[in-house]
């Protein structure tokens, strides 16, 4: 099952992004996932306040067990919220592109 793991955390907390990127790098080396995006929410002063990291999980391992292991790991930075979403195929009709302009 392919899944998308959303990690949300306070971007002002020192070292959280780097710690999570280290975990994603381990997944990438094992061909079990890859970073899709990091999005930043800004406060009213324009300063970063929250970040959401999206990690695509794939491979033979069970995504739910990975999330359970990460949650049980004391080295996971405090304050990281995790959501595991199943990736659903979406079929849509697209217009046929002409062969010649």
In a domain, 96, yes or no: no
In a domain, 97, yes or no: no
CATH code of residue 32: 3.30.70
Q: How far apart are CA 91 and CA 2, in angstroms?
A: 17
Is it the case that residue 101 has pLDDT exceeding 70? Answer: no
How many domains, the chain? 1
Q: Each residue of 21-64: pLDDT tens digit?
A: 999 999 999 999 999 999 999 999 998 899 999 999 987 779 99
51, 6 in Cβ contact below 8 A? no
In a domain, 58, yes or no: yes
Residue numbers of the domain that contains 36: 3-86
What predicted TM-score, i.e. pTM, was given to this entire model?
0.83
Q: Is the dihedral of CA 54, 85, 67, 10 positive or negative?
A: positive
């Amino acid at each position: 099952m392919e899944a998308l793991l959303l990690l949300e955390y306070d971007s002002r907390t020192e070292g959280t992004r780097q710690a999570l990127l280290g975990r994603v790098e381990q997944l990438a080396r094992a061909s079990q996932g890859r970073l899709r995006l990091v999005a930043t929410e800004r406060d009213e002063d324009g300063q970063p306040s929250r970040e959401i990291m999206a990690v695509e999980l794939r491979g033979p391992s069970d995504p739910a067990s990975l999330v359970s292991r990460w949650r049980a790991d004391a080295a996971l930075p405090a304050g990281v919220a995790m959501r595991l979403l199943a990736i659903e195929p979406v079929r849509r009709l697209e217009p046929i592109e002409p062969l010649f302009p």
